[in-house]
Chains A and B, each alone.
Chain A
Amino acid sequence: MSRLLAAIAVFAIVVSSFAFSSNVALGHEHRNVGPYTFVVGWLVEPAYVNYANGLSLDVTETEGGKPLEGLEKTIKAEVIVGGGAKTLSLNLAADEESPGHYQGRFIPTKTGDYIFHLFGNAGPTNVDERFESGPNTFDGAVSADQLQFPDKVPANADLAARLDQLQTLVIAGIVVAGLAVIASVGGLVMRRT
């Protein structure tokens, strides 16, 4: 009986985890590049901001499905945000336990879309492909706010924005204070005259 209850509990947890993430378009993008199939996405999904993650790349021969190994030496990978505002070269590493699978680890620090750019050679095939997160591919990085309990930890970007606002307020306060001092001195001088 206890085993049955435990099984039901596990099942409920799994189902509820699907429900929780139902708004997230999980997945990997599949794309044929020459005779190969590239499957690109996140190592860990959903990709939460400020949690270790990275590029997940699987390459197989389209016909037959044979994994393509050794690409860590011939393919370069980089991750891009926006229109190339910031680019990070990834250290592409082969997964020894899973042939044809490669990882490029990094920690996403902003919510939104990410672009994985792969370029180089896969066998005799030139590769220059951009894989972009989106509703039809793989999801972008999302905030971990929903998971935080009991207190939500502000993201670094939010903290920076708040500091910027604070700085603006401080500057405004200094200006107002300066004007008040000038007005006070002016009033004193005029009263004496």
Chain B
Amino acid sequence: MRRLAVIVACVLGGVALFGSIADAHANYVRSNPASDARLVKPPADVRIEFSEPPDPKGSDIQVLDASGKRHDKGDVAPSGDPNGLKVSVGPIGDGGYVVAWTATSAVDGHTTRGNFAFVIGSGPLPAVPDVGASALPPEPLEIAGRALSYAGIALGLGTAFFVLFLRVPADSEEIRRESMLLLAAGALVFVGSVALIAEQGSKLPPRLGAVLAIRAFTGVVLAALSVAPPLARMRPVAALANGAGVMTLGALSLDRPRRVIALAAGLAAALTATLVSHATALGSVKSMVLDFTHILAISVWTGGVVALLVIVLLRARENTPEQRRALGATVWRFSVTALIAVALLVTAGALQAFDRLVLINDLYETPYGIALAVKIAMLVIALAIGALNLLRWGPRLRAGLAARAALVRDTIAESAIFVVIILAAAFLTAFAPPAQPSAAAYDQTQHVSVLRLEMLVASAQPGRNRYVLRVHQGLAPVQSAEKVAFRFTMIEHDMGEQELVAVERAPGEYVADGSPTAMFGTWRIKAIVRLTGREDVTTVFTLPVGAGGTGTSVVITAAPYTLIVFTDPSQAQAGAPLAIFVVVIGQDGSPVTGKALRATFSGPSAQAPIDAVEDAATLGPGRYKIAIAALDAGAWKVTIGIGNEVSGTYSLEVSR
């Protein structure tokens, strides 16, 4: 186990080292000129920043006039920003221009596309053409490549883990079966990797190519170890493994080195899956570690089940009670391991899902969510079968009763379900997750009357602003709405109601410019979507408008309440008095009064809980003040409890 811990630690360390590697879909974040910008003179170039590093070779930026004539020089190159591209623009005159962009992810080669407009002079903005979905659907070859790769990784890793730590093959027939599984795993990994490379073709980004080449190599290693076990005993290979600290020759049996190398190859292949996954899209080491843990756990479980079936169950004998008890002991050891793996799998998967899903409706309204839902459903069925093995057939065997036939039947069923799970995982990793970064200061999504409404507000500062509502029904953008309007009211003060009527700038994207949120405070934006033949769909978004360019207000959802939290001063200083203001908003968008709020603190030093003060006359309705004498420098987590109902956590950075 110690050696396993060393291997896992090394690989997790590797994940941490690769933590800066980003994303899986290059989405538009911002540009210069900005979308719908009005310029007084022509730009020398157009720069676009994406949510992840694009590969210039497979990307394109075109600057088109009203007649569709290109005015860029076609010299797409990195802009100098970490995730930016630029293209030079020739001399152009006054008028409207459309920038049509295509970006290929440097991470996994996924292509995204979109366009925006700008205008020089006082003319009208040109219409933005409909280019369809931003992310193109995956090709069947990509799905096949991913599914084969994942199946191979799970089989190789699970088998190596099983024979190293749970049940060492007892005779030559079991070793032959082990080799057969490793050969199949190696072949699947290799063929899957080659399929992914072939699918990319000439636009294969160098980084993706390198990662896939490493994965293919691990497949070759797995297959070579299985067809030529003596290879592992050759002095250079053994020395290499020994040098890496993962084994000690001499005391080990002859088959142990190749199993250790097989395990290392499986781990390396799993690591390559993480490095081109959505996990890195969030740009945090945490999500990458979660993803890697998820892959390890599912591999140990699914590959282990297949190894248990093929190596042990299919040829096990249960003629005597002793044989049955021995088989029962093996099943018990595996069941315990599988339980731990499932616990890790579910925990890591759930934490990842929280990061990538925006609404629960995403589970049935987005391709990513549908694939995830299928995976979860299949997982539940497989878990039920596993529970049956653990609670019914295992105890029977350990009691000396016959149960092998039932175990074989159940593990075959489990293996079939795993095939579906891996196929769902292939779709899952190929589709863009619903949670995508945007350049907006405010980005909230609600699901109302079958419509998915995403409100984006360009700035959180008072004054002129841009309000964008993206309207989708299921997977399709809702186009040609009769009317989309935003009505603004301020919570703290009665400033009347103002309305902006939005125009459709792109399919399903309705935009309005104006300055209704002209004052610091909390604003309700009532979005009204009118579709022909249907009743109006309305919902309320709560927008905190910050003061003085600080932008420190954050929205915390603590259903059924929404908390708007900000501090005074906006930059908290160590040792200085600090006030945390909390505006509690109810489901109908109205401020909630009469609640008992308490803040509890977790941070670099001890801080007693503080009860909030409500003073509607001074602070405004629904606004609570938490007065803090002083805090030590560092990162604090402030948990704001509303009575005994709900709580939300506010992150506070206190500087020295």
Interface residues of A in 46-80 (CB under 8 A from B): none
Give chain A residues whose Cβ lies under 8 Å from the Cβ of B538. Answer: 112
Tell me the minimal C-beta distance from B407 to chain A in angstroms.
Answer: 14
CB distance A83 to B499 under 8 Å? no
Closest to B497 in A: A135
Q: How far is the CA of A134 from the CA of B498 in the complex (A)?
A: 9
Q: Which of B37-45, B63-71, B164-172, B524-532 binds A? A: B524-532
CB distance B536 to A135 under 8 Å? no
CB distance B489 to A81 under 8 Å? no
CB distance A82 to B531 under 8 Å? yes
Interface residues of B in 485-540 (CB under 8 A from A): 485, 487, 489, 494, 496-499, 528, 530-536, 538
Give chain A residues whose Cβ lies under 8 Å from the Cβ of B485. Answer: 134
Most buried by B among A22, A82, A86, A190: A82
Closest to B531 in A: A83
Give chain B residues whose Cβ lies under 8 Å from the Cβ of A25. Answer: 496-497
CB distance A85 to B392 under 8 Å? no
Interface check B482, CB cutoff 8 A: yes
CB distance B498 to A113 under 8 Å? no
Partner of A135, one of B482, B498, B532, B534: B498
Give chain B residues whose Cβ lies under 8 Å from the Cβ of A136. Answer: 499
Give chain B residues whose Cβ lies under 8 Å from the Cβ of A113. Answer: 528, 536
Give chain A residues whose Cβ lies under 8 Å from the Cβ of B496. Answer: 25, 135
Interface residues of A in 156-193 (CB under 8 A from B): 190
Give chain A residues whose Cβ lies under 8 Å from the Cβ of B498. Answer: 135
Give chain B residues whose Cβ lies under 8 Å from the Cβ of A190. Answer: 392
Q: How far is the CA of A83 from the CA of B449 in the complex (A)?
A: 14
Q: Mark A2-36, 1 if CB is under 8 A from B, else 0.
A: 00000000000000000000110100000000000
Interface residues of B in 350-396 (CB under 8 A from A): 392
Partner of A82, one of B392, B499, B530: B530
Tell me the minimal C-beta distance from B481 to chain A in angstroms.
Answer: 8
Q: How far is the CA of A110 from the CA of B494 in the complex (A)?
A: 24
Interface check A150, CB cutoff 8 A: no
Interface check A84, CB cutoff 8 A: yes
Closest to B537 in A: A82
Give chain A residues whose Cβ lies under 8 Å from the Cβ of B535. Answer: 81-83, 85-86, 110
Q: How far is the CA of A181 from the CA of B631 in the complex (A)?
A: 57
Count chain A residues whose beta carbon lies closer than 8 angstroms to a beta carbon of B.
16
Give chain B residues whose Cβ lies under 8 Å from the Cβ of A84. Answer: 532-533
Q: How far is the CA of A84 from the CA of B499 in the complex (A)?
A: 21
CB distance A82 to B487 under 8 Å? no
CB distance B528 to A83 under 8 Å? no
Count chain B residues whose beta carbon lies closer than 8 angstroms to a beta carbon of A.
20
| Known interface pairs A23-B489, A113-B528, A135-B487; A83-B497 also in contact (CB < 8 Å) | no
Closest to A25 in B: B497
Give chain A residues whose Cβ lies under 8 Å from the Cβ of B489. Answer: 23
Give chain B residues whose Cβ lies under 8 Å from the Cβ of A82. Answer: 530-531, 533-536
Tell me the minimal C-beta distance from A187 to chain B in angstroms.
Answer: 9
Q: How far is the CA of A146 from the CA of B485 in the complex (A)?
A: 26
Give chain A residues whose Cβ lies under 8 Å from the Cβ of B534. Answer: 82-83, 85
Give chain B residues whose Cβ lies under 8 Å from the Cβ of A81. Answer: 535-536
Give chain B residues whose Cβ lies under 8 Å from the Cβ of A86. Answer: 535
Closest to A111 in B: B538
Q: How far is the CA of A136 from the CA of B499 in the complex (A)?
A: 8
Q: How far is the CA of A82 from the CA of B483 in the complex (A)?
A: 9
Interface residues of B in 457-500 (CB under 8 A from A): 482-483, 485, 487, 489, 494, 496-499
CB distance B533 to A83 under 8 Å? yes
Closest to B526 in A: A112
Most buried by A among B489, B530, B531: B530
Tell me the minimal C-beta distance from A8 to chain B in angstroms.
Answer: 25
Give chain A residues whose Cβ lies under 8 Å from the Cβ of B533. Answer: 82-85
Q: Mark A130-151, 1 if CB is under 8 A from B, else 0.
A: 0000111000000000000000
CB distance A22 to B536 under 8 Å? no
Q: How far is the CA of A23 from the CA of B496 in the complex (A)?
A: 6
Partner of A134, one of B392, B482, B494, B499: B499
Q: Mark A103-131, 1 if CB is under 8 A from B, else 0.
A: 00000001011000000000000000000
Q: How far is the CA of A83 from the CA of B538 in the complex (A)?
A: 13
| Known interface pairs A81-B536, A112-B538; A23-B528 also in contact (CB < 8 Å) | no
CB distance A83 to B494 under 8 Å? no
Closest to B494 in A: A22
Tell me the minimal C-beta distance from A12 to chain B in angstroms.
Answer: 20
Most buried by A among B489, B531, B535: B535
Q: How far is the CA of A81 from the CA of B482 in the complex (A)?
A: 12
Interface residues of B in 411-465 (CB under 8 A from A): none
Q: How far is the CA of A134 from the CA of B487 in the complex (A)?
A: 9
Q: How far is the CA of A85 from the CA of B483 in the complex (A)?
A: 14
Closest to A22 in B: B494
Give chain A residues whose Cβ lies under 8 Å from the Cβ of B487. Answer: 134-135
Give chain A residues whose Cβ lies under 8 Å from the Cβ of B482. Answer: 83
| Known interface pairs A81-B536, A85-B534; A135-B494 also in contact (CB < 8 Å) | no
Q: How far is the CA of A191 from the CA of B13 in the complex (A)?
A: 49
Tell me the minimal C-beta distance from A143 to chain B in angstroms.
Answer: 9
CB distance A23 to B536 under 8 Å? no
Closest to A19 in B: B494
| Known interface pairs A135-B487, A135-B499, A136-B499; A23-B532 also in contact (CB < 8 Å) | no
Q: How far is the CA of A83 from the CA of B451 in the complex (A)?
A: 15
CB distance A112 to B494 under 8 Å? no
Q: How far is the CA of A134 from the CA of B497 in the complex (A)?
A: 9
Tell me the minimal C-beta distance from A80 to chain B in angstroms.
Answer: 10
Closest to B489 in A: A23
Tell me the minimal C-beta distance from B570 to chain A in angstroms.
Answer: 30
Give chain A residues whose Cβ lies under 8 Å from the Cβ of B483. Answer: 83
Q: Show 19 residue pairs from A and B whose CB-CB distance is below 8 angstroms, ordered by the A residue.
A: A22-B494, A23-B489, A23-B497, A25-B497, A81-B536, A82-B533, A82-B534, A82-B535, A83-B531, A83-B532, A83-B535, A83-B536, A84-B532, A85-B533, A86-B535, A110-B535, A112-B538, A134-B485, A135-B496
State the 9 A-B residue pairs at the shortest beta-carbon distance, nearest first: A82-B535, A83-B532, A135-B497, A85-B535, A82-B536, A83-B482, A135-B499, A83-B530, A85-B534
Q: Other than the known A82-B530, A85-B533, what 14 A-B pairs have Cβ atoms closer than 8 Å?
A: A23-B489, A23-B494, A82-B533, A83-B483, A83-B531, A83-B532, A83-B534, A84-B532, A110-B535, A112-B538, A134-B499, A135-B497, A135-B498, A135-B499
